[in-house]
A and B are shown apart, each in its own frame.
Chain A
Amino acid sequence: MSAPLLSLRHLTVDYATDRGTARAVDSVSLDVASGETVALVGESGSGKTTLALSLLGLLPEPPARVAPESRIEYQGANLAGGDNASWRRVRGREMGMVFQDPSLSLNPVLTVGSQVAEVVRTHSKCTRREATTRAAELLAMVGVDSPALRARQYAHQLSGGLRQRAMIAIALAGEPKLLIADEPTAALDVTVQAQIVELLAELRRRLGMAVLLVTHDFGLVAQMADRVVVMYAGQVAEMAPAPVVFSGAAHPYTQGLLLAARGGAGSAERRLAAIPGAPPAATAWPSACRFHPRCARAWNHCRAEAPQLERVSEGHDARCWLVSEPAGETGGRPS
């Protein structure tokens, strides 16, 4: 494999809160290759959105603070700790971003077309007229009907699906090599979700760009992802090629997420498939293995010592004692 497009090493983000420091992202290392789609999966509060925002230097600092040892390498150059000027060189033209709720991420007082054109003009030297033409082309590319008309409309005049398409057009206006999509379908109707997923998959094929997909929806992962990174409590819990995750997830948390997503045939089974308990708060991660309070398969070792990411097979790592001590589970009980 050639050098990755984006490479995170020991990315750590702390938030200063009233109740002490919250380590929202804890030493996360991962790579995204050119043209690859990586899904970042986890529950609310697992740090995935914080991670996505930190990639473009968008975290409000303070209260957020990216630890000095963190490295965010884009095409080999470290972005972490850079100033606004250095961030602006990558924002939009190298990495584009699509946000969760298009009704909030489009400016209510500007026409959709002018918002696309504005990003076009920021990243390429062209006249106002050329930018307007390009904006309509981009809107057409993301499947907006009668783009010239839609370009003159405001966000509130568009449906949820059209808004998200417009937002994707804006994110693509700088022709980025990596698209960061933070829960791009979470705020949409189920029927529209499928269309947006299809659009993203098609755009990725056509434009050959890499996608970092932040989501908690395994349906989305199944349709798009080449590789899956599962986050729990700010750490990488498991990371594997997508088919491997679906056929043989090693971490009980990943297994739980998959079960919850698939459910069973009946509603009773679906309810049983939920992971017990709630995600922990970032101010007080559980000691040792952070998942042990909610893990059905936890034993003494899980409560005593934090597991490291262990290699399960080539390209497949999991942070669980079951990987290195598969017998521990039975041997350790009862505790």
Chain B
Amino acid sequence: MDNSAFPLSARSRRRPFFRLFTIPAVLVAIVFTIAMAAILQYSVRAQIPGSLDVGGFTLANFSAMLRPLYARVFADTVWLCLLTAVISLVLGYPLAYALVRSSNVAVKSFILIATVTPLFLGEVVRTYSWIVVLGNTGFVNSVLIKLGIIVQPLQLLFTVTGVTIALVHVTLPVVVIMLAAAISHIDPDYERAAESLGAGPLRIFFTVTLPLSGPGIVAGLTTAFAWTFSAFATPQLVGGGKVNMVSNLVYQLGFANFNFPFAAALCVAGLLLTYLSIFLMRLLLRPMEKVGLH
């Protein structure tokens, strides 16, 4: 908006509240930075067994991560994150589209509440729910056995499939919201124009709607990746030690082995890996992200 038309535009130069409103946020940013610095500092220290204090500087924590046992967990984690992000995108798109374009207010509200509620439920409740659904005496197996489709219960808990299903359920809401934000910014006139020129619904979707929602797709994929990387209760409880992610390793080293330096080093490596993956995804998807919103 153009302020110059108003005589009091000088107000913005005096910047009322500037300091008062900035200082608290800066303090929070500083505490966060110190906490991250503490991790960085611990990651290059030696462990003193049986103590929370740390020894001298060393890079042993990082070289230990190259051992197959740990390298495997990193590879599995990245794979699970990618898988979860892509499935969330595929399932999230139709829902986001319906959320934005449905003309029925009740339908819109229902989709919104149903999608947003799990987002706020927290990992424990959702993970527990999936144990009840996927367990050997759980819902899916009971129904399939009652229907006579299977005789022996399917092993769904403690498998990559089970963990992926639960992880997708965790990331789906946030992907839907990011896609919906992007789709809601697309002017429906573009779609109408394509339709009036004779394009069918599929063609309109793939040549107009989908490309224009590119930035939302990139944001959704990268966020889903980062959130999955952050998941702990899901791989811990649904994976049951059979499917391990970096988060589980960090917790185990910190609280079972009291090796906080190694746990910190895993955090640092995990963080680097998250940012590197997001950077690479962005690089690959750059043509999509560049699409203007209007």
Do these two chains interact?
Answer: no
A interface residue numbers (CB < 8 A to B): none
